Amino acid sequence: MLTVSQLPVYFAAADLTFLICPGIANSCESVYIRSFVQNAQNCGFRCYVLNHLGVVASVKLTSARLFSYGGTAEFAAMVDCALRQHPSSRAIALGFSMGGNVITCWLGESKEHQKKVLCAISVCQGYDIIRSRPVLLQWAGLRRAYMFSMARNMKRILARNRDILFSPEVLTRHPEIDIKAVFGATTLLEIDEYYTRVLKGYSSVDEMYVAESSAHKLREIHIPIMFVNALDDPIVPEELLDCVKDYASTHDNAIAVITQHGGHLGFFEGDSYLIPKPVSWLCRLVIQYTESVLTNEPQRSDKLANGHAAPMHRGDGAAPMHRGDCAAPMHRGDGDGPAVRSAKLLFTSPAAGRNFSDTPENPLD
């Protein structure tokens, strides 16, 4: 299998673009985004990153519009801009956390959207906000502390753009906005209730959450897509993953990858807990998955043209994985021995081979 050092040579003949949607209140300046972009560019990819509205301090808002959990308009605009500038490029949609929900919603909205990308990858999203809501208010895994921190960050964005977001015109048009309640909120759920859903015209926060949760749009997606989650994610616990396991088990082009460790957007490797390797397991997984989709695209196109489902093979002669909840260790393939933490993978569709690498002497567990 390809290693990171070989990838720039392999992709030199291809024009490939990552269309990246970061997590909540994140942007191209976020550390994990910068780390991924650097590795992807080293591997020959072009990268576009969506800066969520209001997040970059140096860029002031010009209208009363803010990002939301499943709002897709800004990502759609970025996709169209990228494809206008690079019409011959093959695009890959990649979303982290909230961004994973955004790209999944965008794909599920229209088959035309799916035609614009080669494949898609979602990392650490929660899928269903209504089901997530009671979980996020629990102290297990320090989720309540995470919620408080994210709410505080969100209030900073609101305060920085207060003259636009709470202008007299906005308050006149939406008199139910409660400024005191917004800035007194300790969770994102409260901010959604007192501000976001009002601004977006929903009659209730539940109505907004149903409309903006990707769990309700998964089954409209038929292109190759990979969902990555970790069982020790403090924000997205295992009970929220049922919908994506079910989807992946019934759709040939979908993969659900669930690791025992990885946290929320972590997935670090290395022989030290304090100093991980600069290229994470996640970075390598995303690159290798994209390579696998690209390698097998002609096979899928031929079979789909004849009216047959076409599960994605590895491209190395290995048989596709059979459907079912088959746990398999992910092999590192770099010859460096086991990483600090083990990472068992759960692949729930036949869309790929059991492992992305070919060195069984070095499994992570």
* DSSP 8-state secondary structure symbol assigned to residue 221: -
CA separation, residue 363 to residues 173, 292, 302, 332, 356 (Å): 59, 20, 35, 6, 12
CA separation, residue 187 to residues 38, 148, 181 (Å): 33, 5, 11
- Rounded distance, CA 233 to CA 246, Å? 20
Joined tokens for residue 165: 């977001």
Provide the 10 A C-beta neighbour count for residue 332.
Answer: 22
* Diameter over CA atoms, the chain: 66
In this structure, which amino acid lies at residue 313?
A: H
Helix, strand, coil percentages for the chain (3-state, nearest 5): 45, 10, 45
- Rounded distance, CA 78 to CA 71, Å? 13
Active site residue ranges: 97, 233, 264
| DSSP per position, 56-105 | STTS--SSS----TT--HHHHHHHHHHHHH-TTPEEEEEEETHHHHHHHH
| DSSP per position, 323-360 | SS-EEEEPB--SSS---SS--EEEE-STTS-S-SS--T
With b for 16 or more beta-carbon neighbours within 10 A and e for fewer, the 286-303 pattern comes to bbbbbbbbbbbbeebeee
Please list the residues that pair with 230 across neighbouring strands.
259
CB 126 within 8 A of CB 229: no
CB 352 within 8 A of CB 312: yes
